[in-house]
Amino acid sequence: DQQVKQNSPSLSVQEGRISILNCDYTNSMFDYFLWYKKYPAEGPTFLISISSIKDKNEDGRFTVFLNKSAKHLSLHIVPSQPGDSAVYFCAASGEETSGSRLTFGEGTQLTVNP
Amino acid sequence: DAGITQSPRHKVTETGTPVTLRCHQTENHRYMYWYRQDPGHGLRLIHYSYGVKDTDKGEVSDGYSVSRSKTEDFLLTLESATSSQTSVYFCAIREFETQYFGPGTRLLVL
């Protein structure tokens, strides 16, 4: 049972344009959501997060939107830069989740073309 | 940088041999986690620890055991490695609601 799903394995955008990465979840007990970026041969790096009491969180070029009724979140990167090319994982946790474990999506490979 | 190191960074072993991976942290975090990353699966939790000698299973714990005898070290052991355990293993610590990851160990079981 895949509770967190990223339906797009890959996304390609032009430098300077917007990148939109999507994530869907099924567990209504999730109340905290995170995005991680991963370069090859490195560990995932925390990017941005959002609590379920909010519908938007912004940090520089990165904005995460949360639509609780649709159980959907998205990460917007504006403007996209070649250095943003990486695999992006969304993750979710809930107060009821023992150990505050994270449930990850499968990841989306973002390629930003110069 | 959450002060997490993993050792070894790369390992090749043979089926049936025991393997121990080490995660070391320097900032006294209570929670530590072991994940594996495989294509098409994202990261999946193997085991986690919520204190010295306090551990619990994750979603893919079969074939793995863990130990935490001191705060800074969390060990993952494959008692008898199988080819299905070929993967990249990541350790993480938790700070408030966020987990921070180590650099990973790439394990190949032949």
Taking only the tens place, the pLDDT of each residue in A27-60 is: 999 999 999 999 999 999 999 999 999 999 999 9
Whether A49 sits inside 8 A of B97 (CB atoms) is yes
> Among B54, B74, B9, which Cα is nearest to A98's?
B54
Counting Cα atoms < 13 Å in the Cβ hemisphere of A111 gives: 6
- DSSP at A77: E
Q: Is residue B80 scored above 70 in pLDDT? A: yes
Q: Is residue A97 scored above 80 in pLDDT? A: no
Please tell me if residue A48 touches chain B, with a CB cutoff of 8 Å. Answer: no
> In this structure, what token pair is assigned to residue A106?
């499968």
Q: Is residue B90 scored above 80 in pLDDT? A: yes
Please tell me if residue B24 touches chain A, with a CB cutoff of 8 Å. Answer: no
Neighbours of B48 (CB within 10 A): 27
